[in-house]
């Protein structure tokens, strides 16, 4: 089986077996996007809104865009208890599926899901928040979306490396630690009156057109290096059921 034949096989398998995961993930995106829209609108229209609200927005952006590349399904929910990612990968490695196809299919999933979910998340906010529409044009918000989608793909390179390269407990600990470290970083920045989402949008509004370009380039580099490192890790790690 060639690499691309295997990628097509894995893609069809994912769509058939995890269709509910795609639906649940999209519902989560709609819920979180609608929820943060209210907070975002308050921040933009009410000067008395506590600055902690900015911190909440920053934390959700920093954490959710990388998470948009992961499916909400029984495998992700039980990864700590049942080591589901490792068992699935072990099963695939007993089949005539090239390791390159396994890594590439997982990356293609992220390359589709992060932009799709990210655009839904951001433009739902743009549709709901009148304050945001008054603050930024649709083109500026699209440029902002490209920056955050690129960020999500860069972090996904690390998450995919963990998902395919290590057992479920280690993946869960590091993945959870990312949320905790992000919260600590945002708390510090908010204390210093620095707000990540505001800063990125402000840079775009002042004509920093290189930001979306840089984001895309970093995502491309992350894909190349992440693919290489993850493939090497898969070929060298032991597999057990």
Q: Model confidence over 101-132: pLDDT tens digits? A: 888 888 988 999 999 999 999 999 999 999 99
Query: Is residue 237's pLDDT more than 80?
Result: no
- Ramachandran angles phi, psi of 50, nearest 5°: -60, 145
95 CA to centre of own chain:
29
pLDDT (mean) for 151-155: 96
Residue 88 structure tokens = 């699935």
Give the domain ranges of the chain.
3-236
Residue 149's pLDDT is 97
pLDDT (mean) for 81-96: 66
pTM: 0.90
Query: From CA 153, how far away is CA 24, in angstroms rounded?
Result: 20
Give the three-state DSSP class for 177: helix
3-state helix, strand, coil in the chain (%, to 5): 85, 0, 15
- Confidence label for 97 from pLDDT (cuts 50, 70 and 90): confident
Q: What is the pLDDT of residues 193-227, one digit of tens each?
A: 999 999 999 999 988 889 999 999 999 999 999 99
Rg of the chain over all Cα atoms, to the nearest angstrom? 19
Query: Is residue 80's pLDDT more than 60?
Result: no
Note whether 153 and 222 are within 8 A (CB).
Answer: yes
């Amino acid at each position: 089986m060639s690499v691309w034949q295997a990628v097509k096989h894995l893609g069809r398998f994912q769509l058939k077996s995890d269709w509910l995961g795609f639906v649940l993930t999209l519902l989560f995106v709609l819920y979180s996007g609608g929820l943060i829209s209210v907070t975002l609108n308050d921040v933009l229209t009410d000067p008395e809104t506590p600055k902690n609200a900015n911190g909440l927005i920053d934390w959700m952006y920093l954490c959710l865009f990388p998470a948009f590349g992961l499916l909400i399904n029984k495998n992700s929910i039980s990864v700590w208890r049942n080591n589901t990612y490792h068992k699935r990968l072990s099963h695939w490695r007993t089949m005539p599926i090239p390791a390159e196809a396994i890594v590439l299919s997982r990356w293609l999933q992220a390359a589709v899901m992060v932009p799709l979910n990210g655009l839904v998340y951001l433009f739902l906010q743009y549709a709901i928040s009148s304050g945001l529409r008054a603050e930024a044009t649709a083109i500026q918000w699209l440029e902002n979306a490209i920056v955050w989608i690129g960020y999500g793909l860069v972090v996904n390179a690390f998450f995919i490396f963990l998902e395919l390269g290590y057992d479920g407990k280690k993946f869960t600990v590091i993945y959870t630690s990312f949320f905790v470290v992000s919260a600590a970083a945002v708390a510090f920045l908010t204390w210093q009156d620095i707000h990540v989402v505001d800063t990125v949008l402000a840079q775009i509004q002042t004509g920093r057109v290189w930001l979306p370009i840089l984001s895309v380039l970093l995502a491309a580099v992350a894909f190349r290096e992440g693919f290489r490192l993850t493939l090497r890790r898969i070929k060298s790690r032991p597999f057990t059921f």
